Chain A
Amino acid sequence: MIRKIAVLGGITKSGVRETLRMVEIYPGEIVAVVGPTGSGKSQLISDIEYWADGDTPSRRQIQINDQVPAEFAVETSLRRLVAEISQNMNFVIDMSVRDFLLLHAESRHIENALEVAKAVVDCANQLTGEPLMMDDSLTALSGGQSRALMVADVALLSNAPIVLVDEIENAGINRLSALRLLAGRGKVVLVVTHDPLLALLADKRIVMQNGGMAKLLTASPSEKVLAGRLQKIDAVLCELRERIRLGGELTPEAIKEVTWPDAQRVSA
């Protein structure tokens, strides 16, 4: 059982000690990782995925329940504790969706592989637009279909207690439902994001700067209220996007029908 994950601070890109010496994350928490491009967000995610022990460019160390990973579990079990959605938009592996999912299930020692594979495809098809099929070749999937499959695979097949997400907003899929699906219940979740809504929905956020963890913020009550409003605005934008995507036209009447949430208060 994972009770706590701790990231012990290493060095920044300039080689000096990073400001935060330790960040602790508990199951059930969503932690956003924010910062400008090149500030080291992906490296932080990668450190956790790799169970860094001072042996990555950041020199960070990851601990589980106050233990170094090697003491907590053997290498093969450690790998299965983490599921990651990276920034990659496409598959490069040349296999059918079915063969890929079955082999992935085998690598994670999952017994009812075919059932799980079917569930993954069904789930991916709820996230994406045009449905993908079991016999499709992975490399022929579109960016959005690939991302939907990656998300469904992480959520249902890997089903790991630690979930790492390196940007979900550019995927062309609904990022909120994707995140909800990934986060599940009682998991440790880290989300790299540039999206204010995702950042404010998180319980905490780590601010990255020059390769180092510079600040740890906890979502304030007023930020939580703002997140609620942003979610309503987001719902409107999503609805408009769907209408336009499906070839709809937005007549003056249709635009009037749009209910703008708290328009005045947000602009004030």
Chain B
Amino acid sequence: MRLVIVAGPPATGKTSVMLHTLRHILTDKIRVAVCKIDCLETSDHSTYRRLSLPVMVGLSDYICPDHFYVSNLEEIFAWGEKQQAEILVVETAGLCHRCAPGIKGCLSICVVDNLSGIDTPKKVGPVLTTADVVVVTKGDIVSQAEREVFRRRIEMVNPAAHVLEINGLTGQGALRLKKVVLASPSIEGVEGRELRYPMPSAVCSYCNGETVIGSRYQMGNVKKIVYREVSND
């Protein structure tokens, strides 16, 4: 089974991009299953169901969705095999994008959009820098020059990535992503496989439900700001 991980900031069009891509894949009679990881609520499963696919939803609730995703990968993979899927797509909402859900040996797709600001490629961090494919959406709302500049910024932080421009509304570009997905390797299982980038430890009092502010209430892995003067240049 091919395991395909899709991540990226909210509202960039992850689900739209995958819907168009999967629609193309389904015309080849390939069996696809989708798992959506979100925090509190999602309606994306019903969007995916329109393609008559087996869809599973995992809500992380009070836990970081990326940590929740890793802790459940074996189970998600087993579910995909039970569906006899040839391709299992896992779309994660992420939260802070400090975590990258990519797994060594599996296709990792990061979706960003042209409207999100020129510094986004730098800010998004490992989720973008470790991706095999960076999909850029909303290109129809900006000038060609802006698309080129944005692409350049992506290539600066991830020179090895395959950058694909996809229009989430019309699906233009999705056929090219289909080819990349079909060319990705098939794996036997996820146990023992490694994440591309370590996820930060996050076991402070607030992770555990503390709501009161102040050092007295903080325990565990607490990191304090190191103050430094910010100069003008």
Contacts and interface: CB of A to CB of B under 8 A. Distances in A.
A55 B176 contact: yes
Interface residues of A, number: 29
Given A92-B115, A93-B118, A93-B150, A50 B173 contact: yes
B104 interface: no
Contact of B172 (A55, A83, A100): A55
A104 B144 CA distance: 10
A93 B142 contact: yes
B75 interface: no
A150 B171 contact: no
A52 B115 CA distance: 24
B141 interface: yes
B136 to A, nearest CB: 13
Interface centre among B144, B151, B153 (most CB of A within 10 A): B144
A91 B146 CA distance: 8
Interface string B138-156: 0011111110111111000
Contact of B148 (A56, A94, A108): A108
B149 A56 contact: no
Contacts of A88: 141-143
B59 interface: no
B118 A84 contact: no
B141 A153 contact: no
Contacts of A55: 172-176
A158 B161 CA distance: 24
A86 B143 contact: yes
Contacts of B144: 49, 82-86, 154, 158
Contacts of B171: 57
A150 B118 contact: no
B149 A104 contact: yes
A103 interface: yes
Interface in A66-110: 79, 82-86, 88, 91-95, 100, 103-104, 106-108
Contacts of A84: 143-144
A46 B171 CA distance: 13
Interface string B145-187: 1101111110000000000010000111111100000000000
**Interface class of chain B by DSSP:** helix
B159 to A, nearest CB: 12
A103 B152 contact: yes
B197 to A, nearest CB: 27
Nearest to A95: B118
Contact of A93 (B146, B174, B175): B146
A233 to B, nearest CB: 31
Interface string A136-168: 000000000000001001100110000000000
Contact of B145 (A50, A56, A153): A153
B151 A107 contact: yes
A23 B146 CA distance: 29
B222 to A, nearest CB: 34
Interface in A11-49: 46, 49
Nearest to A50: B172
A158 B143 CA distance: 13
Nearest to B151: A107
Contacts of A153: 145
A94 B143 contact: no
Nearest to A56: B172
A92 B170 contact: no
Interface in A251-267: none
Contact of A92 (B142, B148, B165): B142
B117 interface: yes
A158 B146 contact: no
Contacts of B149: 93, 95, 100, 103-104, 107
Pick the 5 closest A-B CB pairs, nearest first.
A55-B175, A107-B152, A84-B144, A107-B148, A56-B172
24 contacts: A49-B144, A55-B175, A55-B176, A79-B148, A84-B144, A88-B141, A91-B143, A92-B141, A92-B142, A93-B117, A93-B118, A93-B142, A93-B146, A93-B150, A94-B117, A100-B149, A103-B149, A103-B152, A103-B153, A104-B149, A106-B152, A107-B148, A153-B145, A158-B144
Interface of B: 114-115, 117-118, 140-146, 148-153, 165, 170-176
Given A84-B144, A103-B153, 14 more contacts: A50-B172, A50-B173, A55-B172, A55-B174, A57-B171, A79-B148, A82-B144, A86-B140, A86-B142, A92-B115, A107-B152, A150-B145, A153-B145, A158-B144
